[in-house]
Amino acid sequence: MIAIKPERLLADLRTLAKFGQYKTGVDRIAFSDEDIAARKWIAERYREAGLEASMDRFGTVYGIAPGVNKAVLIGSHSDTVPQGGWLDGALGVIYGLEVARAAQEAGYLPFGVDAINFQDEEGTYLPCLGSRFMIGTIDDAALDAAHATDGRKLTDAIARARLSGVPRKLDPKRQIAFLEGHIEQGPRLESSGNKVAVITSMAGIRRMTVTSEGRADHAGTTPMNMREDALTPLLRFGSFVVDVFPKLSSGETVWNIGRIEATPGAANVVPSGAGLSLEFRDSDETVLDRIEVAVSEQIAALNKAGSRMSLDVTTRITPTPMDVGIVETFEKAAQDVGYGHERMVSGAGHDAMFLARKIPTGMIFIPSIGGRSHDIAENTKDEDIVAGCVVMARAAEILACGA
Ligand SMILES: [Zn+2]
pLDDT at site 107 = 87
The pairs formed by 169-173 with CB atoms below 8 angstroms and a separation of 24 or more are 169/134, 169/135, 169/136, 170/134, 170/135, 170/136, 170/355, 170/358, 170/359, 172/358, 172/359, 173/69, 173/70
Q: How far is the CA of 244 from the centre of ligand 1 (A)?
A: 30
Q: How far is the CA of 325 from the centre of ligand 1 (A)?
A: 23
pLDDT at site 108 = 75
Q: How far is the CA of 182 from the centre of ligand 1 (A)?
A: 7
pLDDT at site 338 = 98
Q: How far is the CA of 156 from the centre of ligand 1 (A)?
A: 24
Q: How far is the CA of 311 from the centre of ligand 1 (A)?
A: 28
Please name every residue paired with 276 in a beta bridge, in sequence order, or none if there are none: 210, 260
Q: How far is the CA of 242 from the centre of ligand 1 (A)?
A: 28
Q: How far apart are CA 270 and CA 262, in angstroms?
A: 9
- Sign (positive/negative) of CA torsion 252, 253, 259, 260? negative
pLDDT at site 392 = 98
Q: How far is the CA of 374 from the centre of ligand 1 (A)?
A: 9
Q: How far is the CA of 13 from the centre of ligand 1 (A)?
A: 15
Residues of the chain with pLDDT under 50: none
pLDDT at site 403 = 54
With beta carbons less than 8 A apart as the criterion, state whether 397 and 1 touch: yes
Full-model pTM: 0.86
Contacts of 119 (CB under 8 A, 6+ apart): 30, 31, 39, 58, 59, 60, 77, 79, 129, 130
Q: How far apart are CA 308 and CA 161, in angstroms?
A: 42
6-202+319-400: CATH topology? Aminopeptidase (3.40.630)
Alpha helices in 107-179 (DSSP H): 129-134, 140-145, 154-160
User: Exposure of 76 by Cβ count < 10 A (0-12 exposed, 13-18 middle, 19+ buried)?
Assistant: buried
Contacts of 237 (CB under 8 A, 6+ apart): 210, 276, 298, 299, 302, 309
Q: How far is the CA of 81 from the centre of ligand 1 (A)?
A: 9
Q: How far is the CA of 122 from the centre of ligand 1 (A)?
A: 7
Residue ranges of the domains in the chain?
6-202+319-400, 204-317
- Which residue type, as a one-letter code, is found at position 75? G
φ and ψ of 85, to 5 deg: -95, 170
Q: How far is the CA of 199 from the centre of ligand 1 (A)?
A: 14
Tell me the Ramachandran region of residue 217: left when phi exceeds 0, alpha when psi lies from -120 to 50, beta otherwise. beta
204-317: CATH topology? Alpha-Beta Plaits (3.30.70)
Q: How far is the CA of 183 from the centre of ligand 1 (A)?
A: 8
Q: How far is the CA of 304 from the centre of ligand 1 (A)?
A: 42
Q: How far apart are CA 397 and CA 99, in angstroms?
A: 9
With beta carbons less than 8 A apart as the criterion, state whether 71 and 113 touch: yes
